[in-house]
Structure 1
Amino acid sequence: MQDNVDWRLDQWRVERPDIDPAPMGVVGRIQRASRLLERELGRNFALYGLQLWEFDVLATLRRAGPPYRLTTGALVEASMVTSGAITNRIDRLVARELVTRETDPSNRRSVLVTLTRRGRDLIDEVVVEHVDVETKLLTSLSPTEQERLSGLLRKLLIGLGDGSPG
């Protein structure tokens, strides 16, 4: 059985037999899987009135543990977006009363973002369904295959310079 990427690789093999398109197969499948997964995850988040980035910020704050608070710098590092982007995102979450923002009393140059009770209740509800959706999305792989794929992707990400924040 062939997938969409196989079809493209076959075209390259005909048009450019002088190159080996195998790396395109790996990268193309990762990119394509990412888009398909994000589309399905986005559908689930939409049921809760959330976008993927909103889930990401709320989940990051929730994972931080009590008092569910991080500096904007820590949020930038965890989400891999610019400080300008995180400021815009926080503004939108503050407007929805899902987080609060305050100047850090111990460092006036730093801003603290805290998950509100409403934000915590929402993320606690959404994350349960989120894990169920991800489980369903991975049903074509056995648990052993999922573990193997996870290990290979971890190795790739580390090789690309990705590491644990903090």
Structure 2
Amino acid sequence: MHTGDTPNLADSFMAVARRIRHTHMGALEPFGLNPSQSRALHVLAREGQPMRLRALADQLRIVARSATDIVDSLEAADLVTRADDPADRRAVLVSLTDTGRTRLHDIDDARGKVAVELFDTLDAAEREELQRILTKITAAD
């Protein structure tokens, strides 16, 4: 690639990222969640077992105080529960509730519809190529 192409490519990429973020936020709105809360639910589901609040913060790449705020709001919505960690009474374990799992399933369905809407202009070969390119860029981290 010529270095002269890089700014245009970066601008295009950022425009797509903004569109994805805006559309994703719209998909979360009916669930009363923001992207940070959705990400926290996904991390907890992927972990598959109770997580320490500190580990959740690390996975989300945020400070513990911000994770506490996210968990507070998710707990108020009955999507997660907290329990004392029996191995360390100073630590708190966070778990998905059944309601949280159901909500996450609904969110994933909504995200799937958003993905179809966003990428419907690409044919199957173009989507595969885009996936290959994005995977390559992500792996370079």
Which residue matches 1:92?
Answer: 73
The SS at the match of 2:33 is coil
Q: Which consecutive residues of structure 2, in runs of 5 or more, have no partner in the other structure?
A: none
The SS at the match of 1:33 is helix
Matched, 1:83 2:64: yes
Matched, 1:30 2:13: yes
* Equivalent-residue separation in structure 2 for 1:79 and 1:53 (angstroms): 8
Q: Percent identity?
A: 26
* Equivalent-residue separation in structure 2 for 1:32 and 1:74 (angstroms): 32
Runs of 4+ in 1 over 3 A off after TM superposition: none
Q: What RMSD in Å do the two structures reach over aligned CA positions? A: 1.9
Residue identity in the other structure for 1:51: N
Structure label with greater radius of gyration: 1
Matched, 1:144 2:132: no
Q: Which consecutive residues of structure 1, in runs of 5 or more, have no partner in the other structure?
A: 1-19, 162-166
* Equivalent-residue separation in structure 2 for 1:76 and 1:148 (angstroms): 33
Residues 141, 95 of structure 1: alpha-carbon distance in 2 compared, 3 angstrom cutoff? same
- 1:38-77 aligned at under 5 Å gives the runs 38-65=21-48, 67=49, 69-77=50-58
Residue identity in the other structure for 2:61: M
Matched, 1:157 2:138: yes
The SS at the match of 2:91 is strand
1:35 is displaced (CA, Å) by 0.9
- CA offset digits 1:125-158 (Å, max 9, x no partner): 2211221221221111222222222222222223
The SS at the match of 1:102 is strand
Q: Aligned residue pairs: how many?
A: 139
Give the TM-score normalised by structure 1: 0.74
Give the TM-score normalised by structure 2: 0.85
The SS at the match of 1:150 is helix
